[in-house]
Structure 1
């Protein structure tokens, strides 16, 4: 079960339609304001890679909401990121919630989970952020320990109104835990769509040997796939052979950026710069964001492995984001690998 080369190129062409052109008519922030909620005391790298992945991919602004100690470290990594050390357990959840609400009011999309950890306070912050994102019409990507929260509270991602705006990015073990928690026992080829339906038709990017993407609904005819499936996309783009920690964080930042762009495109925000929304594709921007980010992350990993082999680390991939973006999606950024 894999997409043909023609299907893959067709899907990338659809993804390109959501990407805002660089134009003097767009002001700072219109081309993506992405937030990352995570970064506990032990994990400062993950939110950095997610936020910097979003920035290198093309987001205008990236905010990191994290534990104060992690924030102090992340600020030394990159002054390009706006770092808020607001997840302070010593000040309590109520104050953290107020500060999160203020920051989230500026965002198009929030990525929840990179470096979050499973501490009760950090999990509570993630819970409050999901509730607020639902109320504030913010897109959400849930990854890593953000998914741990959904094992016991799946209702947090159910019943969101409007254009689909929740994307989950589980790896093999995270996906299995979600299936077990939601009583999904379908065959391997059908589980992604079944889990998406069990969770209220969220979009799921199931990471594995091939990445599987579904929201549990019939695919639109515009996708023109030949997989034999009516509700599932399969990304069989070759990735790198080394599975180093942090690659999934770059993926989450990329998904977040594409979801931000897609939702703004669907709203008509880029019509005045020559990129009007397509009514047929607008309801499916989460699927396009998930597929585009999957193909992109796998390609970045492959390029990094070609350059570094076994010595490859995630930091090597950050500098490849721009050149690989130019190769896959075209545009103004040039670079040689």
Structure 2
């Protein structure tokens, strides 16, 4: 049985989705960048960026090392590939090129296929600096982007306002982050996520597990509760986490997290543009509720978590043990429609 809390949150996520309208021009429904793709890893940035495209983004840019870029270009002509993270260039040169690319984006996803070399980690650090200067840009951090955060937490801290940053760590990545911030990883799982989010300056974290725990370290506003209360009785009054317990598949494959980062990025882009009023001219006005407007990263994280777990379940139902991430990319569209509606059904939502 679907809980009232889950149904309410999904209704809010649907409210962020822009309608399909001839009045929207190319790019208004999401310009996503994926910074990663080192010499050894070309699949992860493809899955993240193509997952974003299949989810509904208008444009997806992959920012990568030149060798990885040459390979990624053969995967799909739909992706815009920038092989600018060239080790032969100075970091100042790379920074200037990144500024030009990132100026086009709503959201940057840092980490898929990034690797841990000093050069690629420094490129990601520069990208964080650029994003921090642009208070309109959202950032999703996964994979070896989290390695950078672990070694230098300051890259996600001290951002203006409520940071538009979502971290998507797996079990080991989450444990290492806790240890770095001197948080006992053996504490109750329900307390760890808000503690870590708070320690990192109130970024939003999807603590992946049998149940995904989502928090930005602050109290969940009443508008995100179905009854308008400040806490969820199901969680024993816990008021600083959301739990995403939609059933997933029974096989974990490398690449599922990349699809999660892509869908998180698109929902962040849509939500941020919705709040700015970018869709008002197509009958999709921004929310009047401040609690909703200030918690777009939290809603994007919940929606993407629910989506990713459902994609995994549908993929496993079709393929069983033979399931690979490529199977999940093909299911992004059908599962999107299952959760968020057929094209055109989003019309008129967002009047909150």
Question: Per-residue CA shift, 1:2-24, capped at 9, x if unaligned?
Answer: x9622111110010000100011
2:286 is the counterpart of 1:274: no
2:215 is the counterpart of 1:214: yes
Report deviation, 1:331.
2.8
1:196, 1:215 within 8 Å by CA — same for their partners in 2?
A: yes
Residue 176 of structure 1 is matched in structure 2 by 175
Residue 339 of structure 2 is matched in structure 1 by 328
Q: Cα distance 1:333–1:66, how it changes in 2: closer, same or farther (>3 A)? A: farther
2:194 is the counterpart of 1:193: yes
Residue 306 of structure 1 is matched in structure 2 by 317
1:164, 1:283 within 8 Å by CA — same for their partners in 2?
A: no
1:49 is aligned, of 47, 51, 54, to 47
1:129-168 paired onto structure 2 within 5 Å: 129-137=127-135, 138-168=137-167
Structure 1 runs, 4 residues or longer, greater than 3 Å off:
none
**What secondary structure is seen at the aligned counterpart in 2 of 1:53?**
helix
Distance 1:181 1:125 in 2: 22
Normalising by structure 2, we get a TM-score of 0.92
2:105 is the counterpart of 1:96: no
1:199-278 paired onto structure 2 within 5 Å: 199-224=200-225, 225-226=232-233, 227-228=235-236, 229-278=238-287
| 240-249 vs 265-274, which moves further | 265-274
For structure 1, the 5+ residue unaligned runs are: none
Report deviation, 1:33.
0.2
Question: Per-residue CA shift, 1:136-169, capped at 9, x if unaligned?
Answer: 2211001000000111211111121135301100
1:164, 1:285 within 8 Å by CA — same for their partners in 2?
A: no
2:17, 2:270 within 8 Å by CA — same for their partners in 1?
A: yes
Normalising by structure 1, we get a TM-score of 0.96
Aligned length in residues: 332
Compute the RMSD of aligned alpha carbons.
Answer: 1.4
